[in-house]
Chains A and B, each alone.
Chain A
Amino acid sequence: MLCDVCKCNDATVFLTQILEGKMQKVNLCDACSKEKGVQDPTGFALADLLLGIGAAEEIEKGAPTQKCPVCGFTQADFKKTGRLGCSTCYLTFAEGLKSLLKAMHKGTEHVGKVPERAQRVVELSDRMRDLTESLQKAVAEENYETAASLRDQIKQLESELTP
């Protein structure tokens, strides 16, 4: 049996984990098991390993030749390390990461702590969404006076949102 990671050496390490009722198996060769930290139990979780491997494939589907504009990270790098290059990578590889995160976590959206600085941006964005909806409604109803006033408010908000 060949190693699931490098696909060239014979697998000597066989791992099985039951995750949410589904059995998952991974076969690794000696070198890959060392590289993945399988022999270092404190830093190792089979789930991470599995998801790391799956993750690389997911990203591949989404963005075949994409490179992060901020840090220059590529999908091949992710495949190798299972880690991303910088915070902007989450945007660059958003498409591929979507299904990966869905499989990995309880939900797809953050509902926890919000940093104070981000809090203000969130409030402004919410207001922007409300204004845009009202504008569309006003235009549909041919209420141009209201529409003009809403458009001005949106412009004002836009200048606040872009630093």
Chain B
Amino acid sequence: MKFANVMSTAGEWLRGEGPHHQIVISSRVRFARNLRNRAFPGWAKKAERTAILELIKPQVEELTDMQDSFSELLQDLSALEKQVLVERHLISREHAAKGVGSAVVMNRKQTLSIMINEEDHLRMQSIRSGLQLKQAFKLADKIDTALEANLEFAYDPRLGYLTACPTNVGTGMRASAMLHLPGLVLSELINQVVQAVSKIGLAVRGLYGEGTEAMGNLFQISNQTTLGEKEEEIIARLTKVIETIIDKEHDARQVLIQKKSNTLWDQIGRAYGVLTYAHAMTSKEALNLLSIIKLGVDLGVFPEDRRLPIDELFIDTQPAHLQKSSQQKLTAEERDHLRAQIIRERLKLFPKPDIGKLVKKAGNGSAAKPSQNE
């Protein structure tokens, strides 16, 4: 598979079909593994790193789940291509900075991505749409078991899987979900939620945000610890907490509809106005406004069939995606113009927000919590 194919098809996880997909964008589980008695990538000399890569890469490519995969050495990818993969969460920012001795292998559906010689020799990541941590875990676990048959992983009976950073030792597993929480942000309840979640040993991070600031009302929640708890327990605990947050988000939205419908209507109207008429837009502004439109789709203000085009814009308006699609390097100013242009074009036939739908939904009491398969 060529890089062009990666570009032209969106990852399967983006076509939100998983449970709770309105609020949970994606679920991810990654395992960190290392070969026994070999220097970790950050400490290994170039020759050893390359030798380790040559040992691992064929094993990864031969996996049945990696038939027709995209497999590339990091030094063969351009800076822009690497950035595209980062924006799709298929490789980490840290991995994008790597060159000789590192590689990435991913499947066609972009639901499985394996980084070789990132911080650890192996980072295997499984991605699913909606809240499907258990399913994501199952695939990552299966891949791990398959690789373990031919590779001897660093493992200690007391400490579990040994990783370059002591924060990952034990299960080597990081499970995370990306949540869209405009209701909690607009009703200023988000800090309470973030604090409560941090108290129980889970981490909350802004998704593309600088520091604690979360752009596009997107938040990433993950397990903080990896030692002393079984994989299944971590997944179950995280899933339970996320389900609670989903309930809180639904509650917050109902309160907004009933008590602050003017504010909500104003936000949606402004977002629609700016997106359809602006001629220059930063990616931060785009994400924040698109988030409000997405909320509008959730609330029935825009038709359901407009969901996918909005979700796609979240990714397509990112800096590297813009430049890759225009096939040239652009200055920040040029990017802002192109971004506004793409958004205007895609929203050309987008219907105006229908406030009647919103009011009716709140008024006739049909605004109870949506079913699980919303």
A interface vs B, CB < 8 Å? 18-21, 40-43, 45, 47-48, 51, 55, 70-71, 73, 77, 81-88, 90, 97, 100-101, 104-118, 121-122, 125
Contact = CB atoms under 8 A, between A and B. Distances in A.
Interface in B204-244: 205-206, 208-211, 224-231
Contact of B229 (A48, A73, A107): A107
A97 B163 CA distance: 13
Contacts of B36: 87
Contact of A88 (B37, B166, B201): B37
In the A-B complex, the 8 residue pairs with the smallest Cβ-Cβ separation, listed nearest first, are A107-B228, A110-B160, A87-B154, A105-B227, A106-B228, A85-B43, A87-B162, A112-B171
Nearest to A40: B93
B231 A113 contact: yes
Given A42-B208, A70-B39, 5 more contacts: A42-B92, A85-B43, A87-B37, A104-B166, A115-B148
Contacts of A70: 37, 39
A73 B228 contact: no
A45 B198 CA distance: 12
Contacts of B224: 47
Contacts of B199: 18, 20-21
B272 interface: no
A115 B93 contact: no
Contacts of B92: 42-43
Contacts of B40: 83-86
Contacts of B195: 18
B204 to A, nearest CB: 10
B231 A109 contact: no
A85 B156 CA distance: 16
Interface of B: 34, 36-40, 42-43, 92-94, 119, 141, 144-145, 148-149, 152-162, 164-167, 169-171, 173, 195, 198-199, 201, 203, 205-206, 208-211, 224-231
29 contacts: A18-B195, A18-B198, A41-B206, A41-B210, A45-B203, A48-B167, A73-B43, A84-B40, A84-B43, A84-B165, A84-B166, A85-B39, A86-B39, A87-B37, A87-B38, A87-B156, A105-B225, A105-B228, A106-B228, A109-B158, A110-B156, A110-B170, A111-B230, A112-B173, A112-B230, A113-B231, A115-B148, A118-B155, A125-B157
Contacts of B169: 90, 101, 105
A43 to B, nearest CB: 5
B34 A97 contact: no
A85 B40 CA distance: 6
A90 B156 contact: yes
Contacts of B165: 48, 82-84
Contacts of B229: 106-107, 111-112
Contacts of A19: 198
Nearest to B230: A112
A104 B225 contact: yes
A86 B37 contact: yes
A108 B228 contact: yes
B225 A81 contact: no
A43 B148 contact: no
A20 B206 CA distance: 20
B34, B40, B144, B206 interface centre (most CB from chain A within 10 Å): B40
Contacts of A84: 40, 43, 164-166
Contact of A117 (B152, B211, B228): B152
Contacts of A117: 148, 152
A112 B231 contact: yes
Contacts of B155: 114-115, 118
B190 to A, nearest CB: 16
Contacts of B43: 71, 73, 77, 83-86
Given A87-B36, A117-B152, A55 B166 contact: yes
